[in-house]
């Protein structure tokens, strides 16, 4: 229940009801003065606690430590409000100004630092931001939101454009393919037509050749019939008179 190493610093709360103690065991203990009982132990420091002090209103306890930090604690529930960093050596001593607006700290880094309560970046809680500071924060936030919105919009637009472009490219490619396909089909049809024409020509040639052959054969037959004294058309024997007059056809074929 008590400290397990040296006690470096003790201080009464302004109303005299609480005693705070900082120790080499890295803890701060709050004691009820009336009966000496331990109220709570604060354990966030990483090294020994050199100095403790209450704010004038008794609501905040400040502690300086060999971990080079100052911590501010809410006395009512023992919660850590914030850690003040900046010293490069052990913080040996901490003290509030009588109006509670400034916290002073002395360190083995040979400096004294003053921490101003009016600045949220120093040590005050967010609840104590001034109206102007809150307005500024809200304004910053709005600007940031607008900027983020603008960027998202830009990106969306860019994506849309890229998609459109890709779609157009795809369309062009498809059209070219279709055209190529049509061209090939046309070529194929033309070749087919040409082949058919050639076939036709060949067949006509064949026909012509056959007719010529037939004609030649008929001519031969006629010569043969004439030599045998037959009608050159039907092959019937010619009469005596027909032969005498030099006719080559019978009366029926003349
Ligand atoms: Zn005849």
| Confidence (pLDDT) at 130 | 63
Cβ atoms 31, 17 nearer than 8 A: no
Question: How far, in Å, from the CA of 242 to the mean position of ligand 1?
Answer: 11
Q: Are residues 115 and 37 in the same domain?
A: yes
Tokens linked to 160: 């849309």
Domain-located, residue 157: no
pLDDT score for 138: 80
Question: What pLDDT score was predicted for residue 127?
Answer: 41
Shared-domain flag, residues 121 and 171? no
Q: From the CA of 209, how far away is ligand 1's center (Å)?
A: 27
Structural domain range at position 93: 7-128
Could you give the number of structural domains in the chain? Answer: 2
The pLDDT assigned to 133 comes to 67
Quick one: which of 16, 18, 61, 17 has its CA closest to 42? Answer: 61
In this structure, the answer to whether residues 97 and 203 fall within a common structural domain is no
HSE, side-chain direction, 13 A CA sphere, residue 1: 5
Tokens 């502690």 belong to 63
Is 194 among the domain residues? yes
Sheet holding 80-84, edge to edge: 49-54, 60-65, 70-74, 80-84
**Sheet strand arrangement including 102-107:** 91-96, 102-107, 112-116
CA nearest to 34, candidates 59, 15, 55? 15
The last residue of one of the domains, among 104, 128, 152, is: 128
Residue 170 and residue 113 share a domain: no
Spatial contact of 105 and 64, defined as CB atoms under 8 Å apart: yes
The reply to whether 142 falls in a domain is no
Both tokens of 41, joined, read 């132990």
Position 140 in a domain: no
Report the separation in Å between the CA atom of 105 and the middle of ligand 1, taken as the mean of its atom positions.
Answer: 153
Whether pTM exceeds 0.75: no
Kindly tell me the sign of the dihedral angle through the C-alpha atoms of 119, 120, 126, 131. Answer: positive
Residue 5's contacts (CB-CB under 8 Å, 6 or more residues apart) are 23, 24, 25, 48
What spacing in Å lies between the alpha carbon of 210 and ligand 1's midpoint? 25
| CA 213 to ligand 1 center in whole angstroms | 22
Closest by Cα among 95, 102, 89, 83 to 54:
95
pLDDT computed for residue 129 by the predictor: 57
Q: Is there a single domain that holds both residue 178 and residue 89?
A: no
- Could you tell me the two tokens for 5? 């190493």
Do 72 and 173 reside in the same domain of the chain? no
Residue 145 C-alpha to ligand 1 middle, in angstroms? 118
**Ligand 1 centroid to residue 233 C-alpha, Å:** 5
* Same domain as 39, residue 122: yes
**Tokens encoding 146:** 């607008």
- pLDDT for 142: 86
Distances from the Cα of 146 to the Cα of 92, 133, 142, 155, 160, angstroms: 47, 20, 6, 14, 21
Going from the Cα of 248 to the center of ligand 1, the distance in angstroms, rounded, reads: 8
Along the chain (254 residues), what's the average pLDDT of each consecutive run of 10 residues? 93 97 97 96 96 95 96 94 90 92 90 71 48 74 88 95 96 96 96 96 96 94 91 90 89 88
Does residue 220 fall inside a structural domain?
yes
Residue 203 resides in a domain: yes
Residues 104 and 174 in one domain: no
Query: Where among 68, 102, 128 does a domain terminate?
Result: 128
Would residue 252 count as lying in a domain?
Answer: no
User: Two tokens at 243?
Assistant: 């032969």
Domain boundary among 102, 128, 154: 128
Q: Within this chain, do residues 93 and 198 fall inside the same structural domain, yes or no?
A: no
């Amino acid at each position: 229940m008590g400290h397990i190493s040296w006690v470096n610093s003790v201080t009464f709360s302004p109303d005299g009801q609480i005693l705070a103690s900082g120790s080499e065991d890295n803890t701060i203990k709050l004691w009820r003065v009336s009966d000496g009982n331990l109220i709570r132990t604060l354990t966030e420091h990483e090294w020994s606690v050199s100095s403790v002090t209450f704010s004038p209103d008794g609501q905040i306890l400040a502690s300086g430590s060999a971990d080079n930090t100052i911590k501010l604690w809410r006395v009512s529930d023992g919660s850590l409000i914030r850690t003040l960093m900046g010293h490069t050596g052990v913080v040996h001593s901490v003290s509030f100004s009588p109006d509670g607006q400034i916290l002073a700290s002395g360190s083995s880094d040979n400096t004294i630092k003053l921490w101003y309560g009016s600045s949220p970046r120093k040590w005050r809680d967010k609840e104590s931001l001034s109206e102007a500071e809150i307005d500024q924060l809200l304004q910053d936030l709005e600007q940031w939101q607008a900027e983020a919105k603008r960027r998202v919009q830009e990106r969306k637009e860019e994506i849309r454009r890229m998609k459109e472009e890709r779609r157009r490219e795809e369309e062009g490619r498809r059209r070219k393919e279709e055209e190529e396909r049509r061209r090939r089909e046309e070529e194929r049809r033309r070749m087919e037509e040409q082949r058919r024409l050639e076939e036709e020509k060949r067949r006509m040639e064949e026909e012509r050749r056959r007719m010529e052959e037939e004609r030649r054969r008929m001519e031969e037959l006629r010569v043969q019939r004439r030599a045998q004294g037959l009608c050159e058309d039907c092959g019937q024997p010619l009469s005596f008179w027909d032969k005498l007059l030099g006719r080559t056809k019978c009366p029926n074929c003349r």
